[in-house]
Amino acid sequence: MRYGPYNHFTGSRMKRGEMYDVVIIGAGVIGCGIARELSRYDLSILILEKEGDVADGTTKANSAIVHAGFDAYHKTVNGQMNARGNPMYDRLAAELSFPFQRIGSLVLAFSEEELASLRELIDNANVLKIPGVEMLAPETVHAKHANLSQEIRGALWAPTGGICGPWEFAIALAENAVENGAELALNTQVTGIQKTDAGFRLSTAAGGSIESRVVVNAAGVYADTIHNMVAEPFFEIHPKRGQYFLLDKAAGDIVDTVIFQAPTKAGKGVLVSPTVHGNIIVGPDAEYVEDREDLRTTGPQLDYVRQAARQSVPNIPFGMNITTFAGLRAESSTRDFIIGPADDVPNFINAAGMKSPGLSAAPAVAEEVVKHVGVALGGELKERKDFNPHRRPAAHFAEASPEKQAELIATDPRFARIVCRCEYVTEAEVVDVIHRKVGARSVDGVKRRARPGGGRCQGGFCSPRVMEILARELGTDMGDVLKDGPGSYILTGRTKAVEGGM
Amino acid sequence: MQHYEVVIVGGGPAGLAAAIEARKNGAQSVVVLERDRELGGILQQCIHHGFGLVVFNEELTGPEYAERFIDELMELGIEYRLETMVLEVNADKTIRAISPSDGMIEIQAKAIVLNMGCRERTRGAIAIPGFRPAGVFSAGTAQRFVNMEGYMVGKRVVILGSGDIGLIMARRMALEGAKVLAVAEIMPYSGGLTRNIVQCLHDYDIPLYLSHTITEVRGKERVEGVTIAEVDENRKPMTGTEKHYDCDTLLLSVGLIPENELSRGAGIQLDPVTGGPIVNEAMETSVPGIFASGNVVHVHDLVDWVTEESRRAGAYAARYVQNKLVEDASVIASRPGDGIGYVVPHKVRPENLNDKLAIFMRVKEVFHDAKLVVKADGEVVYSRKKRHMAPGEMEIVQIDAQKLKDLKPAELLVSVEGGETVHV
Residues B126 and B185 in one domain: yes
Q: Are A377 and A213 spatial neighbours (Cβ–Cβ below 8 Å)? A: yes
Residues B396 and B294 in one domain: no
Residues 6+ apart with CB under 8 A from B236: none
Catalytic residues of A: 67
Handedness of CA B312, B318, B319, B323 (dihedral sign): positive
Residues 6+ apart with CB under 8 A from A415: A395, A397, A405, A408, A409, A426, A427, A428, A429, B98
- In this model, does residue A501 exceed pLDDT 70? no
How confident is the model at residue A10, as a pLDDT?
67
Nearest Cα residue to A30 out of A326, A451, A357, A343: A357
pLDDT tens digits, one per residue of A239-283: 999 999 999 998 999 999 999 999 887 777 899 999 999 999 999
Residues B320 and B363 in one domain: no
Contact B141 A321 (CB under 8 A): no
Considering only CB atoms, which chain B residues are within 8 Å of A292?
none
Mind telling me how many Å the CA of B282 is from chain A's nearest CA? 29
Nearest Cα residue to B26 out of B303, B400, B356, B317: B317
One-letter amino acid identity for B398? Answer: Q
Mind telling me how many Å the CA of B328 is from chain A's nearest CA? 34
Q: Are B25 and B74 spatial neighbours (Cβ–Cβ below 8 Å)? A: no
- In this model, does residue A12 exceed pLDDT 80? no
For B221, the closest chain A residue by CA position comes to: A488
Helices A358-376 and A77-85: angle between axes, nearest 10 degrees = 100
- How many Cα atoms sit within 13 Å of B384 on the Cβ side? 10
How confident is the model at residue B160, as a pLDDT?
97
Q: Are A19 and A41 spatial neighbours (Cβ–Cβ below 8 Å)? A: no
SS3 category, B329: coil
Considering only CB atoms, which chain B residues are within 8 Å of A410?
103
For B147, the closest chain A residue by CA position comes to: A495
- Annotate B26-68 with DSSP letters as a single string: T-S-EEEE-SSSSSSGGGGG--SEEE-TTTTSS-EEHHHHHHH
SS3 category, A78: helix
Q: How many domains does chain B have?
A: 3
Considering only CB atoms, which chain A residues are within 8 Å of B216?
296
Give the integer Cα–Cα distance in Å for B309 and A129. Answer: 65
Contact A295 B120 (CB under 8 A): no
Mind telling me how many Å the CA of A418 is from chain B's nearest CA? 7
Show the domain range for B311: 1-120+256-325
How confident is the model at residue A267, as a pLDDT?
73
- Among B205, B222, B254, residue at a domain's last position: B254
Mind telling me how many Å the CA of B138 is from chain A's nearest CA? 7
- Annotate A367-393 with DSSP letters as a single string: HHHHHHHHHHTTSPPPBPTT-----PP
- In this model, does residue A1 exceed pLDDT 60? no
pLDDT tens digits, one per residue of A337-362: 999 999 999 999 999 999 999 999 99
One-letter amino acid identity for B74? Answer: M
Residue B412: C-alpha distances to residues A116, B93, B269 (Å):
59, 31, 20
Contact A424 B87 (CB under 8 A): yes
Mean pLDDT of chain A: 94
Q: Are A331 and A183 spatial neighbours (Cβ–Cβ below 8 Å)? A: no
Residues B248 and B286 in one domain: no
Considering only CB atoms, which chain A residues are within 8 Å of B131?
295-296
- Among B305, B325, B345, residue at a domain's last position: B325
Identify which of B99, B123, B129 has the shortest CB distance to residue A298. Answer: B129
Burial zone of B198 (CB within 10 Å; 0-12 exposed, 13-18 middle, 19+ buried): exposed
Considering only CB atoms, which chain A residues are within 8 Å of B83?
416-417
Residues B131 and B217 in one domain: yes
Identify which of B130, B150, B222 has the shortest CB distance to residue A489. Answer: B222
B368 close to A (CB below 8 A): no
Q: Give me the residues paired with residue B210 across strands.
A: B185
Residues 6+ apart with CB under 8 A from B386: B367, B369, B370, B371, B372, B395, B419
Mind telling me how many Å the CA of B267 is from chain A's nearest CA? 14
Contact B124 A295 (CB under 8 A): no
Contact A492 B155 (CB under 8 A): yes
- Taking residue A382's Cβ as centre, other Cβ atoms within 10 Å add up to 10
Mind telling me how many Å the CA of A481 is from chain B's nearest CA? 11
The answer for B 186-215 residues in CB contact with A (under 8 A) is 215
Q: Are B114 and B283 spatial neighbours (Cβ–Cβ below 8 Å)? A: no
| CATH number reported for the structural domain that contains residue B338 in this entry | 2.60.40
CA B407 from centre of chain: 32
A397-411 mean pLDDT:
95
Contact A416 B153 (CB under 8 A): no
Give the integer Cα–Cα distance in Å for B97 and B1. Answer: 11
Residue A243: C-alpha distances to residues A263, A288, B213, B327 (Å):
18, 12, 21, 52
How confident is the model at residue A104, as a pLDDT?
98
Give the integer Cα–Cα distance in Å for A315 and A311. Answer: 9
Give the integer Cα–Cα distance in Å for B246 and B218. Answer: 9
Q: How many contacts, defined by CB atoms under 8 Å, are there between A and B? A: 139
For A303, the closest chain B residue by CA position comes to: B127
Contact A302 B122 (CB under 8 A): no
Residues B36 and B80 in one domain: yes
Give the integer Cα–Cα distance in Å for A374 and A471. Answer: 43
Residues B166 and B216 in one domain: yes
Identify which of A296, A297, A496 has the shortest CB distance to residue B176. Answer: A496
Residues B27 and B136 in one domain: no
Contact A416 B130 (CB under 8 A): no
Mind telling me how many Å the CA of A252 is from chain B's nearest CA? 14
Considering only CB atoms, which chain A residues are within 8 Å of B119?
456-457, 460-461
Contact A482 B237 (CB under 8 A): no
Alpha-carbon radius of gyration of chain A: 23
Give the integer Cα–Cα distance in Å for B114 and B81. Answer: 15
pLDDT tens digits, one per residue of A302-332: 999 999 999 999 999 999 999 999 999 999 9
SS3 category, A35: helix
Residue B72: C-alpha distances to residues A473, B16, B17, B68 (Å):
38, 9, 9, 6
A169-190 mean pLDDT:
97
Alpha-carbon radius of gyration of chain B: 22
A389-402 mean pLDDT:
95
Residues 6+ apart with CB under 8 A from A355: A240, A329, A330, A331, A332
A17-24 mean pLDDT:
93
Contact A464 B104 (CB under 8 A): no
Residues B241 and B274 in one domain: no
* DSSP type of residue B280: B
Q: What is the pLDDT along chain B (424 residues), one digit of tens a residue?
A: 999 999 999 999 999 999 999 999 999 999 999 999 999 999 999 999 999 999 999 999 999 999 999 999 999 999 999 999 999 999 999 999 999 999 999 999 999 999 999 999 988 888 899 999 999 999 999 999 999 999 999 999 999 999 999 999 999 999 999 999 999 999 999 888 889 999 999 999 999 999 999 999 999 999 999 999 999 999 999 999 999 999 999 999 999 999 999 999 999 999 999 999 999 999 999 999 999 999 999 999 999 999 999 999 999 999 999 999 998 788 999 999 999 999 999 999 999 999 999 999 999 999 999 999 999 999 999 999 999 999 989 999 999 999 999 999 999 999 999 887 775 4
Give the integer Cα–Cα distance in Å for B346 and B330. Answer: 14
Identify which of B35, B145, B221 has the shortest CB distance to residue A418. Answer: B35
Residues B263 and B280 in one domain: yes
| CATH number reported for the structural domain that contains residue B42 in this entry | 3.50.50.60
Contact B140 A460 (CB under 8 A): yes
Residues B336 and B413 in one domain: yes
Q: Are A53 and A442 spatial neighbours (Cβ–Cβ below 8 Å)? A: yes
Identify which of A324, A486, A498 has the shortest CB distance to residue B150. Answer: A498
Handedness of CA A107, A109, A114, A116 (dihedral sign): positive
Could you tell me if the ipTM is greater than 0.90?
yes
Mutate to test the interface with A, among B90, B96, B122 (most CBs of A within 10 A): B122
Helix/strand/coil (H, E, C) string of B337-362? Answer: CCCEEEEECCEECHHHCCCEEEEEEE
Q: What does chain B come to in residues?
A: 424
Identify which of B100, B151, B152 has the shortest CB distance to residue A413. Answer: B100
Residues B374 and B402 in one domain: yes
Considering only CB atoms, which chain B residues are within 8 Å of A488?
133-134, 221-222
Residues 6+ apart with CB under 8 A from A93: A99, A100, A164
Strands B151-152 and A493-494: antiparallel
Q: Are B273 and B341 spatial neighbours (Cβ–Cβ below 8 Å)? A: yes
Identify which of B87, B119, B135 has the shortest CB distance to residue A457. Answer: B119
B100 close to A (CB below 8 A): yes
Q: Where are the beta strands (DSSP E) in B198-248?
A: 208-210, 212-218, 225-230, 243-246
One-letter amino acid identity for A88? Answer: M
Contact A495 B151 (CB under 8 A): yes
How confident is the model at residue A9, as a pLDDT?
59
How confident is the model at residue A118, as a pLDDT?
97
pLDDT tens digits, one per residue of A73-121: 999 999 999 999 999 999 999 999 999 999 999 999 999 999 999 999 9
Q: Give me the residues paired with residue B98 across strands.
A: B85, B104
Give the integer Cα–Cα distance in Å for B81 and B36. Answer: 10
